[in-house]
């Protein structure tokens, strides 16, 4: 499909890339990794001041209402420097959840805080070793006028720093049944919640979260009781498309790094970029990147027009972006030779981030199967 950014979207893209290059360089990720910190709070505040946290949020709640194509440009820019920030978990997932299913009171309470950068959110969904959003064992049993949450969530992105948790819990039926799932907005500081920070492969923030008889009110329900899976799936599709945009940015930057290296590295008295076999490998990467760019652009545009095939576009974009980033990150290490195998070189950081992005919210095999099922196969 033909896809051209508007002047305003191009300005947002340029601003986001400039910010990422200056304020979120790979050197910052290395410093955060050394200190064991998930993200730079000062940089996040600057991002919020620039309006990045409120791109999806309507103006009446303090945002700009600029849409998913706009936020996709910011996520892609962040992906280029594999930056660690709460942008996906808060500006994409948290804002989307409230816009899709929040009550008027919930929107008025939380959306302005998200737009200003004062509230971080995290989606607590997975409980097993692989992504399976219907497999929910965390229970939310009726308790007086509210509910009591019990159980464990694994690998909650930005879960250790978030002030508000979006929790998928089971209010009826058996585990693995999409029916009986309800979403809750749970303040992270209430009694009974234990958060354990994880040391991750890609040095991005994540945590395991335990709920031990956590009491919440009925007003914590996001959407409707027992029928929250459709909303959860819609939220996850937005997360998947956001991850695809971020993956595209990472693959783009890794390819550019490799392309430049091929132009300056000499072996046997010749530039290695003159070797036909390496030219072929570069051409394959370039082609895959262009195909991925089209898939991501189409998925973001589908969100903005609320198309009826968002689920299919999300699985397509997520799979294509994951496969492309896998290919490019591998080639980046290999084509840099010995230096590419060292921690001192950035290529390995792109590979590590690639492996996490591939698995997060559904691997390629998960989404191929889902795409087939959505198509009636």
CATH number, residue 312:
1.20.140.10
| Residue 2 in domain | no
**Do residues 345 and 258 share a domain?**
yes
pLDDT band at 274 (very low <50, low <70, confident <90, very high): confident
**Do residues 173 and 298 share a domain?**
no
Query: Could you give the 3-state DSSP secondary structure of residue 147?
Result: strand
- Residues 6+ positions from 111 with CB-CB distance below 8 Å: 57, 58, 61, 62, 63, 95, 98, 99, 102
Longest dimension (CA), the chain: 79
pLDDT band at 2 (very low <50, low <70, confident <90, very high): low
Per the CB < 8 A criterion, the answer to whether 189 and 159 are in contact is: no
**Do residues 110 and 133 share a domain?**
no
Instruction: Report the C-alpha gap between 204 and 314 in whole angstroms.
Output: 23
Instruction: Report the C-alpha gap between 92 and 98 in whole angstroms.
Output: 10
**Do residues 191 and 133 share a domain?**
yes
**Do residues 256 and 362 share a domain?**
yes
| Residue 95 in domain | yes
Find the distance separating the first CA and the last CA of the chain, reported in whole Å.
Answer: 25
Instruction: Using the CB atoms, write b or e for 266-278: b if 16+ within 10 Å.
Output: eeeeeebbeeeeb
Residue span of the structural domain in which 16 resides: 7-118
**Do residues 87 and 194 share a domain?**
no
* pLDDT for residue 193: 98
Per the CB < 8 A criterion, the answer to whether 35 and 355 are in contact is: no
Query: Where a domain ends, among 118, 147, 168?
Result: 118
**What percentage of the chain exceeds 90 in pLDDT?**
94
| Residue 333 in domain | yes
Instruction: Report the C-alpha gap between 22 and 128 in whole angstroms.
Output: 38
Average pLDDT, the chain: 96
pLDDT band at 4 (very low <50, low <70, confident <90, very high): confident
**Do residues 266 and 359 share a domain?**
yes
* pLDDT for residue 64: 96
How far, in Å, are 135, 181, 203, 319, 352 from residue 326 at the CA level?
27, 33, 18, 11, 10
Query: Where a domain ends, among 118, 147, 175?
Result: 118
**Do residues 220 and 248 share a domain?**
no
Per-residue pLDDT for 346 more than 80? yes
Give ∠ CA 244-249-254 in degrees, rounded to 5: 125
Query: Where a domain ends, among 227, 252, 274?
Result: 227
Residues 173-230 have pLDDT tens digits of 998 899 999 999 999 999 999 999 999 999 999 999 999 999 999 999 999 999 999 9
pLDDT band at 148 (very low <50, low <70, confident <90, very high): very high
| Residue 88 in domain | yes
Instruction: Report the C-alpha gap between 336 and 245 in whole angstroms.
Output: 25
Query: How many domains are contained in the chain?
Result: 3
- The CATH number for 149's domain is 2.40.110.10
**What percentage of the chain exceeds 70 in pLDDT?**
99
| Residue 141 in domain | yes
**Do residues 127 and 216 share a domain?**
yes
| Residue 1 in domain | no
**Do residues 44 and 62 share a domain?**
yes
Instruction: Report the C-alpha gap between 153 and 155 in whole angstroms.
Output: 7
Per the CB < 8 A criterion, the answer to whether 47 and 90 are in contact is: no
* Residue 139: CA count within 13 A, CB half-sphere: 11
| Residue 58 in domain | yes
**Do residues 106 and 179 share a domain?**
no
* pLDDT for residue 272: 83
Tell me the average pLDDT across 73-92: 98
Instruction: Report the C-alpha gap between 360 and 355 in whole angstroms.
Output: 9
Closest CA to 79 of 94, 92, 97: 92
Tell me the average pLDDT across 164-169: 98
Residues 282-337 have pLDDT tens digits of 999 999 999 999 999 999 999 999 999 999 999 999 999 999 999 999 999 999 98
Per-residue pLDDT for 76 more than 90? yes
> From the CB of residue 312, how many other CB atoms can be counted at a distance below 10 Å?
18
Per the CB < 8 A criterion, the answer to whether 84 and 32 are in contact is: yes
Residues 217-244 have pLDDT tens digits of 999 999 999 999 999 999 999 999 999 9
| Residue 250 in domain | yes
- Residues 6+ positions from 55 with CB-CB distance below 8 Å: 12, 63, 64, 66, 67, 70, 71, 74, 91
Question: Angle 276-304/310-335 helices, nearest 10 degrees?
Answer: 150
Closest CA to 352 of 158, 200, 129, 156: 200
Tell me the average pLDDT across 10-26: 97
- The CATH number for 60's domain is 1.10.540.10
φ, ψ for residue 182 (rounded to 5)?
-130, 145
**Do residues 212 and 269 share a domain?**
no
């Amino acid at each position: 499909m033909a896809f051209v950014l508007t002047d305003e979207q191009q300005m947002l893209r340029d601003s986001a890339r400039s910010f990422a290059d200056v304020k979120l360089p790979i050197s910052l990720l290395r410093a955060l990794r050394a200190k064991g910190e998930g993200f730079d709070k000062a940089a996040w505040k600057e991002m919020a001041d620039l309006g990045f946290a409120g791109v999806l949020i309507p103006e009446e709640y303090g945002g700009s209402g600029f849409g998913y194509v706009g936020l996709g440009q910011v996520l892609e820019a962040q992906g280029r420097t594999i930056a660690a920030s709460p942008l996906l978990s808060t500006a994409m997932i948290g804002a989307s959840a409230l816009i899709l299913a929040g009550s008027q009171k919930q929107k008025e309470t939380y959306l302005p805080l998200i737009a200003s950068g004062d509230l971080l959110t995290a989606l607590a969904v997975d409980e097993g070793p692989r992504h399976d959003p219907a497999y929910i064992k965390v229970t939310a049993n009726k308790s007086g006028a509210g509910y009591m949450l019990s159980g464990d969530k694994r690998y909650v992105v930005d879960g250790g720093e978030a002030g508000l948790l979006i929790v998928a819990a089971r209010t009826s039926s058996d585990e693995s049944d999409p029916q009986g799932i309800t979403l809750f907005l749970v303040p992270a500081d209430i009694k009974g919640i234990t958060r354990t920070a994880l040391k991750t492969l890609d040095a991005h923030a994540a945590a395991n979260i335990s709920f031990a008889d956590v009491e919440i009110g009925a007003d914590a329900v996001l959407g409707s009781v027992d029928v929250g899976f459709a909303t959860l799936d819609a939220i996850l599709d937005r997360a998947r498309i956001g991850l695809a945009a971020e993956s595209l940015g990472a693959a783009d930057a890794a390819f550019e790094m490799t392309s430049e290296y091929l132009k300056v590295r000499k072996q046997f008295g010749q530039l290695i970029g003159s070797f036909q076999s390496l030219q072929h490998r570069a051409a394959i990467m370039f082609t895959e990147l262009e195909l991925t760019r089209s898939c991501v652009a189409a998925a973001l545009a589908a969100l903005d027009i609320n198309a009826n095939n968002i689920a299919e576009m999300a699985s397509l974009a997520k799979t294509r972006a994951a496969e492309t980033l896998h290919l490019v990150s591998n080639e980046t290490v290999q084509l840099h030779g010995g230096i590419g195998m060292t921690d001192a070189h950035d290529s390995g950081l792109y590979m590590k981030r690639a492996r996490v992005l591939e698995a997060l919210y559904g691997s390629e095999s998960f989404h191929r199967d889902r795409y087939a099922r959505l198509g009636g196969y």
